[in-house]
Structure 1
Amino acid sequence: MSLYSSNGESSDSEEEDIFELPAIADPFVWTRGNIEEFKHEIETSNTGMLKVCNGEILTVRIPTADDGRYIYWEFATDDYDLAFGVSFEWNKCPDPEVTLDVNDSESEDDDDFWDDDEYLTDVNDIEAPKKEQRTEDHPTSVVLPTYRRNSHQEVIMGSHKYPGRGVYLLKFDNSYSLFRTKIVYYRAYYGK
């Protein structure tokens, strides 16, 4: 995958404007039974439960850890399947916090609403997105494509070796569902 420079100008040597992202290793993905035991562990720990409404995509942003070399994830759902995928955002200075992004769809059309300064003027409104909070787009590589998984029948597990510094994006995608909200039980951690 190549990225072109964003300055919009053409140069005599296009090679100067192109850079290659490093290759990404394939993830290891497997499943296990004992889904009820896993969900009970997550419930009793009082962490790692998400409600993904119909038509919604939740993305958990997990930065790489300095003392880790791999990311591990596990998840299951109640009653129905869910689409899941993993991407890696190349970012040498990621925010150290794990965060959650909520999107109503894959469309970026909704983002245009916030581009108008008229909606960014109230500095006291903590819920309004601030222009300085919007981050620049970093190059992203797909680690595990987003597909529907039978996470209501077995625990979906996986791991991936860090390709460098950045942020893992765990995407829980319920955008295809018109009526059903899904409950997700998940755990993500790093190791050596």
Structure 2
Amino acid sequence: MSLTSVGDSSDEDDEIFELPEIQPAFVSSHKNIDEFKHEILQGDNGMLKVCSGEILTVRIPTSDDGRFIYWEFATDDYDLAFGVNFEWNKCPDIEVTLDVNDTDTEEEDDFWADDEHLTDVNDIEAPKKDKQKEEPPTSVIVPVYRKNSHEEVIIGSHRYPGRGTYLLKFDNSYSFFRTKIVYYRCFYGQ
């Protein structure tokens, strides 16, 4: 599938891209949480620490060796919000990466970014505003909502809608005091 243009193609600034319809993901759970955590601790799979007020995003590019992505995760002691997005990109990075978003820091950065009146535009030593990097279009695969991942292993899969990057979001932004430990693994399949 590819992105299709809507509107007059003669004026590139006015082009609007319509994203293809996304098929729903398969999401389920199973109760073998202790066995799952033990497998994660014994293997080369992942453990994450999601501090209170943070959102961790695991960025997983599509692979030519697969047609599906699969994920599983569980937490210790407390629930966690989770969601999956798909970032449309014909040439995704080839490495899995991790982004940390501290919700308090984002709001603070937005506040300071608005203080143009404090900077003299003629001052050559003044910090320059970076041009906003245009983000690739993104589709929601699984909306972010809280899961009882401390009671059961949350599992899911999704067929690639095209080339791009899956964004697995582990959201602890609602928690003021509790850090969550996440046991997870992701893999490709046919």
Q: Same fold (TM over 0.5)?
A: yes
Q: Give the conservation status (yes or no) of the 8 Å contact 2:53–2:104.
A: no
Please provide the CA RMSD for this pair. Answer: 3.3
Residues 165-184 of structure 1: pairs in structure 2 closer than 5 A: 165-184=163-182
Out of 70, 74, 77, which is 1:76 matched to?
74
State the distance in 2 between where 1:105 and 1:138 align.
Answer: 21
Which residue of 2 is the match for residue 24 of structure 1? Answer: 22
Which residue of 2 is the match for residue 66 of structure 1? Answer: 64
SS of equivalent to 2:141: strand
The 1:118/1:189 distance shift into structure 2, 3 A limit, reads farther
**Any unmatched runs of 5+ in structure 2?**
117-124
Q: CA shift at 1:11, angstroms?
A: 10
SS of equivalent to 1:151: coil
Q: CA shift at 1:105, angstroms?
A: 1.6
1:185 matched to 2:183? The reply is: yes
Residues 126-165 of structure 1: pairs in structure 2 closer than 5 A: 136-165=134-163
SS of equivalent to 2:64: coil
Q: TM-score normalized by structure 1?
A: 0.79
1:43 matched to 2:41? The reply is: yes
Across the two proteins, how many residue pairs are aligned to each other?
173
Q: CA shift at 1:118, angstroms?
A: 6.6
What one-letter code is carried by the residue in structure 2 that aligns with 1:95?
Answer: D
State the distance in 2 between where 1:12 and 1:93 align.
Answer: 25
The 1:34/1:64 distance shift into structure 2, 3 A limit, reads same
Question: 1:137-191: per-residue Cα shift (whole Å, max 9, x none)?
Answer: 1000000000000000000000000000000000000000000000000000010
Which residue of 2 is the match for residue 123 of structure 1? Answer: none
Which structure has the larger Rg? 2
State the distance in 1 between where 2:157 and 2:68 align.
Answer: 7
Percent identity reads: 67
**Any unmatched runs of 5+ in structure 1?**
121-130
